[in-house]
Chain A
Amino acid sequence: MTRTTWQRLKADRYGMSGLLIVLFFTVVALSVWIGLLGQGWSEVSGNSWESISATHWFGTNLLGQDILQRTLFGAATAFEIGLIVTGFSILLGTVLGALAGWYSHSWLDEIILWLKGVLDSIPFYLFAAAVAFALQGNRWAMHLAMIITFWTTTARIVRGEVMRIKQREFIEAARAIGLPGITVVFRHVLPNTVHILLVQATIVFVVAIKTEVILSFLGLGIRDGVSWGLMLAESSQEVVAGQFGNFTAASVSLFIMLMGFNLFTDALQDALDTRRIMP
């Protein structure tokens, strides 16, 4: 990210509030990981359905567990899923997209495009179900399904970008002095796609967190621990009976976090795009 990008980003009020929200949840997730917050998410600390009080800020759930503790722990779960899925799928998409773009119209490109076409053709939730089915209850089945399918968008974008960049003169110069293809790709082509990858990463992060909610509801998601998706799945039975504690805590936190990421992504996109004529 260059200095001008940062200047432009700083001028965007919505983008900065998005960034603040993201930072807030990052701090919460880190605190859970190092053991400062949310450690009592599974212990029964009160009666069933206690209302809001000084000891239970968000009340308790059916089993008497503290909803605030579970919500805080859920933030860490969301970050864990987001980081793992984003990291691996962006990495995979970048490598495969760069190879396809650099060796475009070769057999390697054809194979990567074919693989992408195949994975894009299977509806995601069915694919996740199939992976869960094949791995028979493995706790990483959900992460794996997301990584295997989410890289394709990144690969498509990187492929197009690499095909565009490799026409440029500085690439021709790098090849003319005799650098091997791989070196040129990783040292000279890919660094020029970092801004696109950054935007793509924030998008994948949001999609991963939203997907976890649906998968957890369908029984294909998180198996140990607690997530906002599991809290919402529980609450779908409870709201009809008038218990809104779980639902409010999970849905509001989820909304604020996703909103933060979406606002930040939009602002980042605007700040990085020099040609864009936007408000």
Chain B
Amino acid sequence: MKKLPFLARKVLYGIPLLLGVTFVSFLLMVYFGPDKTYELLGKNPSAEQISEVRHALGYDRPFLLRYGDYLKELVTLNLGLSDSTGEAVSSILARTLPVSIALVLPGFVIGNILGLALGMLAAWYRGQWLDKLVMSASVVGMSLSFLVIIIILQILLSTPYGFNIFPVRGWQVVDLSSYLYYVTVPTLALLLVTLGYNTRFYRAVMVDEIERDHIRTLQAYGTSPAELLFKNVLKNSLIPVLTRIMFSVPFVIVSGSLLLESYFGIPGIGLVTVNAITSGDQPILKAVVGLTGVLFVLALMINDMLYSVVDPRVVSEQAVSKS
């Protein structure tokens, strides 16, 4: 009984965010974006020709109607044609998104699992040498720029100055072995750049949980560390852990792929976006920015709903505070 209004309220709270995100991208990309009128006109256009083109592009329509048009494009996924290739934007996205996911998923998953494991280890042995080692390593990791990590890995693994066992760039994936061949260096880069932050975050969460009284009690009863960590500590800190993972999904896929793909020349959504940035391809940019914003808000809403599954108190607390 209580769950339905809770979910409905979460959906309701998402709507202003969705409108805000789409409005910001509309404002920046469409309203203040470059004026395409003169690109489409010949030399010395007459005033009539100018107004004709402006009408065709929809520039003379009222502000709110143009925003409505943009919203309709996003909802129906009818995103227009790319300026540079003439291909439909939706088909470009459908073609490149799987490549991006295949590229960043291994690094993302391993980065979180490894970060969680190291964070738990450091939290358990907090103050001891193992903790200090993990924490110092994470500070070193945080001080390295993503770009520097990529270049170092490339020198080490893909050039004659290092081991030279992986390709310098490219993405000719046909089967598993070719996938591993091309995905290894980007995955290692993503892993190294996120691991420091993940480890520190998960350690802080775990330390909070380990210092609780009931954990000390269980320890006194003689519960084994493994059982304690996995059954009690990890389970109770699922909410911040889940939040971090959910929040970083759209960011890692877009931001991570942006740099990795433009560096390694991998034909995913990031490379398409970078090319659109350099060539000023507005239809692609406004679709990517708007859709990722929407995707993020949806992830946020799902995250809130997961809360109520993981921790039933979330629903009842809110119900109590509302009444």
Contact = CB atoms under 8 A, between A and B. Distances in A.
B151 A236 contact: yes
Nearest to B253: A123
B296 A121 contact: yes
B143 A123 contact: no
Chain A residues touching B, majority SS: helix
B296 A262 contact: no
Contacts of A255: 143-145, 148
Contact of B277 (A115, A119, A133, A236): A133
B21 interface: yes
B189 interface: no
A126 B254 contact: yes
Contacts of B221: none
A185 B127 CA distance: 38
A71 to B, nearest CB: 14
Nearest to B281: A133
Of listed A118, A119, A131, A251, residue having the most chain B CB within 10 A? A118
B273 A122 contact: no
A254 B20 contact: no
Interface stretch (B45-53, B107-115, B284-292): B284-292
B178 interface: no
A123 B25 contact: no
B255 A133 contact: no
A234 to B, nearest CB: 11
Contacts, number: 149
B274 interface: yes
Contacts of A240: 154, 159, 168
A166 to B, nearest CB: 19
A99 interface: no
Contact of B300 (A121, A130, A206): A121
A214 B254 CA distance: 14
Interface stretch (B55-63, B78-86, B212-220, B258-266): B258-266
A49 interface: no
B21 A133 contact: no
B251 interface: yes
A259 B20 contact: no
B132 interface: yes
Contact of B289 (A127, A259, A278): A127
Interface of A: 114-115, 117-119, 121-127, 129-136, 206, 210, 213-214, 217-220, 229, 232-233, 235-236, 239-240, 242, 244, 247, 251, 254-255, 258-259, 262-263, 266, 277-279
8 contacts: A122-B292, A123-B255, A127-B289, A133-B34, A133-B280, A218-B258, A236-B151, A240-B154
6 pairs of A and B residues whose beta carbons are closest in the complex: A118-B20, A258-B143, A134-B32, A130-B28, A259-B143, A121-B296
